[in-house]
Amino acid sequence: MRRQNRIPAAAAALAGALALGATVAAVNAETVHEVQVGPGFSFSPAQITVDLGDTVRWVWAGGEHNVVSGAGGDPDGNFDSGLPVDDPGLTFEVTFDQPFLDDNPMPDNVYPYYCEPHVLFGMVGDVTVEVPDTTPCPEDLTGSGLVNVFDLLTLLDQWGTCADPGDCPADLTGDGLVNVFDLLALLGAWGACPD
């Protein structure tokens, strides 16, 4: 009886699995969005919406500029390209991944920024980060798999304006308030959470 050599079949299976893994990684790759800094007194585009995990790359086109997070000339410390420079082709990048958002929470994941020497000329912009809702049942505030009286009590306990909009699970509508609209959303999901 002759034995079959199984090494080529195993190698082919391993190569196929690696190729599939590389394909999946390429499909899930983050996007780099470019924002032109100058010339003149503008960012282009000034407002940009990105997905969680994407990178924004500011590219200097001319003029002495910088990129500072904050609004109205008031830095918030989330990111800063440094002193203003006139260096066409210079780049500055920020990756808006979950650790960045966790370390630098902003209402509605909107990150305003400006150019220090030109903020009074309207050289401002903002990055909005869209975060997918990974909670299959956001109305289940207690994590029990059911929307029931305990979730209702949790919602009522958080009633009113959210002290920290980034950490206000009972704000089901995302408007910074726990109110009748959130109550209606909770009641509309009453019962077992979908699988």
Per-residue pLDDT reduced to its tens digit, 100-137:
999 999 999 999 999 999 999 999 999 999 988 766 78
Q: Which pairs count as long-range contacts for 169-178, CB under 8 Å and 24+ apart, including other chains?
A: 169/138, 169/141, 170/141, 172/138, 172/139, 174/108, 176/107
C-alpha span between 6 and 46 (Å, rounded) = 59
Sketch out the chain's domains with CATH numbers. Answer: 32-130 (2.60.40.420), 146-192 (no CATH)
For residues 48-75, give the mean pLDDT.
Answer: 96
pTM, rounded to two decimals: 0.58
Confidence grade of residue 65 (pLDDT, cut at 50, 70, 90)? very high
**Which of 24-38, 103-117, 175-189 is the least confident region?**
24-38
Chain mean pLDDT for the chain = 86
